[in-house]
Structure 1
Amino acid sequence: MSLRRAEAVLARFGLDRYMLLLVLTVAGATVLPARGDAAAVLSHLTHWVVALLFFLYGAKLTTATILAGLTNWRLQLAVLALTFVLFPVLALALKPVSMLWLPAAVGVGFLYIGCMPSTVQSSIAFTAVSGGNVAGAVCAASMSNLIGVVLSPLLFAWLIPQGSGYGIDPGAVWKIVQQILLPFAGGQLCRPLLAGLLNRYRTPTIIVDRGSILLIVYAAFSAGVVNGIWQVIGAGSLAILVALCLVLLAAVMGGAMLVGRAAGLDRADGVAVLYCGSTKSLATGLPMAGILFAGQDISLIILPLMLFHLLQLGACAIIAQRMARRLDLR
């Protein structure tokens, strides 16, 4: 079987090169984790790559798209309600269930999933494939991330129980603003100079996007392996974690469809709500976790988010393919 044919077969199950690279990165960190000076260099490199990523996000997003999406207030409110209300409620409900069989840090990770903003690139791509409102999805996902830079850590700090041992430093919000929001604003200011260049050369942007996530995953799991993460999480615990992530994903996707109908949205807007309201950003969540949970069990805390991200990509890819086939038949 040729490489392209093998990739086509895997794509039917929502598996692409990026997802395989994520799995290989975790495997690489398990076999050859970064230690000592190498880990310190990797930490500094990751910081600047993430800043570059959000600078490019800002440079690519047009002001006209933001304004056009904001006028569709029902779509925007539906996505924000799903992302920052329904998701945290469901995650809060699953947290004690997860802590029956899994370490406390993993339960904290479930709560962390609920507080994260929506994905940007994947939710927009799935919306486009499914024939949804792409402009609305661009605005909804972008607004979710901009609001989430400040709201996500505050929401997590409010929901995490006192005395749990997993608090956050109040100064962490400002560090997140420095690493994510300020580069985004700088990208917006530089957009007139860079927009044409970024539209002509999209591959470097994709490399920065995917590469930054892979770097963060490698750094986090390197630290986890050094601290014995796989002695704490075995195959049985991993299976339970996957099952709980699937329950969370199914519940929020069902909620997204109900919210779309209750808001009276048409099919195109409903598709955008489904993808933007039921997905969580790894690109925002991982660097934020590195700031919020510095010195804590970060590899265990981000493990639920990583698994949820992989599962959401697979589920959304399958749904998008089916929606696209229905559109072709019409």
Structure 2
Amino acid sequence: MWPRIKRQWFLIALATCFCIGFFASETLQPLLAMTTLRSAIVFSVMWIMGVTLKADAVRQSLARPLPTLLAIGINVLVVPLLCLPAQAILPASAFGGLFVVSLVPCTLASAAVWTRKADGNDSIALMTTVVTNLACIFVIPIGVSLVLARQADISAIEQMRKLATIVVAPLVIAQTMRTIGVAKWADRNKIRLSLLAQFGILSMVVFGAIASAGMIQNADESGVSSIGMTTATLVFLVIAIHLSAFGIGILVSRATGADRASQVAVGFGGSQKTLMVGLQIAIDLGVSVIPMLMYHLFQLTIDTVIAERWKQSSEQMDQNRPSKET
């Protein structure tokens, strides 16, 4: 049992941090006003993820750009379109949180890691990660202004400025530092740096839980019920959206003649979303953070199963090849 707990410690810690923030929200409420602290945490985590990101492999995807373009298109355009019908069945705050999920960029680490585990082309996942994170300064404000204009308290220009400061700037700084000699130090200390990044994410989960508690309390005071039904609907939607984006990536890349390794990369890169940026945007807009937490939880769980099965399938294919040749 202990090895299993050790492997899943982050998910356990995520649930624990959410419970702490949620049930101690009245005591911790002053933390929400510390916007500079939240921005500093996001900046630090994005820098850590950026400095441990080996972007050299991204150049490999330039030789065959179509799978990368498909993954980027699915992540930036298809996932938001898949979310739009939910507006008819979800409360405004829950839909706002779900749509924020669809707008945020691909994960900085897990998309490439899961792709590599499944014997996929991780250079495609890396390129998708880099492009969607750089493009988020335009994608998120445009998406918010088009769909969530009534719920957004900050202007598109202000969103662009903030995203450029806390998402793009740390990535550019981190990659610049890698080119001037920090790469070896970052690679040598990758485990420690990744652990620090995970603690930063967990701290943002606490912020999100505090905000969620306040939203639920306001909903109760306004006479809005059926929270349990909304939660069940959200679970169904985040799983359906993730699997749909994943499946579209596989089918479309296969239809264009991409090899198995590229199909795997398009599936993971097109469907995964980053928790860190999503939490920050949801809190800033005053929408529910629960969809972002759910999406992150289920994408980790589902994609782990998919990666392990594809890995086993790949190993079986490798074992069967010699016998066929003989």
In structure 1, give the amino acid aligned to 2:123: A
Q: Which residue of structure 1 aligns with residue 22 of structure 2? A: 30
**After alignment, is 313-322 or 51-60 more displaced?**
51-60
The RMSD of aligned alpha carbons is: 2.3
Q: Which residue of structure 2 aligns with residue 304 of structure 1? A: 291
Correspondence for 2:169 among 167, 176, 182: 182
Percent identical: 22
Q: Which residue of structure 2 aligns with residue 329 of structure 1? A: 316
Q: State how far apart, in whole Å, the 1-side matches of 2:128 and 2:54 are.
A: 13
Q: 4+ residue stretches of structure 1 with deviation over 6 A?
A: none
Q: State how far apart, in whole Å, the 2-side matches of 1:312 and 1:286 are.
A: 16
Aligned with 1:35: secondary structure?
helix
Q: CA deviation at 1:83?
A: 0.9
> Contact 1:145–1:284 at 8 Å: present in 2 too?
no
Q: Which residue of structure 1 aligns with residue 160 of structure 2? A: 173
Residues 224, 64 of structure 1: alpha-carbon distance in 2 compared, 3 angstrom cutoff = closer
Note the alpha carbon deviations across 1:171-194, whole angstroms, 9 max, x for none. Answer: 121111111111221112222232
Q: Which residue of structure 2 aligns with residue 95 of structure 1? A: 87
> Contact 1:249–1:278 at 8 Å: present in 2 too?
yes
Q: State how far apart, in whole Å, the 2-side matches of 1:274 and 1:63 are.
A: 20
Q: State how far apart, in whole Å, the 2-side matches of 1:253 and 1:124 are.
A: 14
Aligned with 1:67: secondary structure?
helix
In structure 1, give the amino acid aligned to 2:159: A
For 1:156-167, what aligned pairs fall within 5 Å after superposition? 156-160=144-148, 164-166=150-152
Q: State how far apart, in whole Å, the 1-side matches of 2:52 and 2:58 are.
A: 12
Q: State how far apart, in whole Å, the 2-side matches of 1:166 and 1:237 are.
A: 22
In structure 2, give the amino acid aligned to 1:32: A
Q: State how far apart, in whole Å, the 1-side matches of 2:72 and 2:215 are.
A: 37
Q: CA deviation at 1:156?
A: 2.7
Q: CA deviation at 1:290?
A: 3.6
Correspondence for 2:66 among 66, 74, 94: 74
Q: State how far apart, in whole Å, the 1-side matches of 2:302 and 2:31 are.
A: 36
For 1:201-212, what aligned pairs fall within 5 Å after superposition? 201-212=189-200
Q: CA deviation at 1:45?
A: 3.0
In structure 2, give the amino acid aligned to 1:169: S
Unaligned 5+ runs, structure 2: 318-326
**After alignment, is 122-131 or 180-189 more displaced?**
180-189
Q: State how far apart, in whole Å, the 1-side matches of 2:5 and 2:307 are.
A: 17
In structure 2, give the amino acid aligned to 1:212: G
> Contact 1:78–1:263 at 8 Å: present in 2 too?
no
> Contact 1:249–1:312 at 8 Å: present in 2 too?
yes
1:319 aligns with 2:319: no
> Contact 1:153–1:173 at 8 Å: present in 2 too?
yes
Unaligned 5+ runs, structure 1: none
Q: Which residue of structure 2 aligns with residue 270 of structure 1? A: 263
Number of corresponding residues: 309
> Contact 2:133–2:167 at 8 Å: present in 1 too?
no
TM-score by length of 1: 0.85
Q: State how far apart, in whole Å, the 2-side matches of 1:250 and 1:86 are.
A: 12
> Contact 2:55–2:126 at 8 Å: present in 1 too?
no
> Contact 2:137–2:164 at 8 Å: present in 1 too?
yes
Note the alpha carbon deviations across 1:228-286, whole angstroms, 9 max, x for none. Answer: 45846733321121112222223222211211112211000000001011111112222
Q: Which residue of structure 1 aligns with residue 227 of structure 2? A: 234
Q: Which residue of structure 1 aligns with residue 52 of structure 2? A: 60
In structure 1, give the amino acid aligned to 2:155: D
Q: Which residue of structure 1 aligns with residue 2 of structure 2? A: 3
Q: Which residue of structure 2 aligns with residue 110 of structure 1? A: 98
Note the alpha carbon deviations across 1:132-187, whole angstroms, 9 max, x for none. Answer: 01122212222221112322222232233x5x344641212111111111122111
Correspondence for 2:11 among 16, 19, 33: 19
Q: CA deviation at 1:129?
A: 0.8
> Contact 1:83–1:278 at 8 Å: present in 2 too?
yes
In structure 2, give the amino acid aligned to 1:272: A
Correspondence for 1:249 among 242, 246, 251: 242
Correspondence for 1:130 among 118, 141, 156: 118
In structure 1, give the amino acid aligned to 2:5: E
Q: Which residue of structure 2 aligns with residue 220 of structure 1? A: 208
Q: CA deviation at 1:38?
A: 4.6
TM-score by length of 2: 0.86
Q: State how far apart, in whole Å, the 1-side matches of 2:250 and 2:154 are.
A: 34
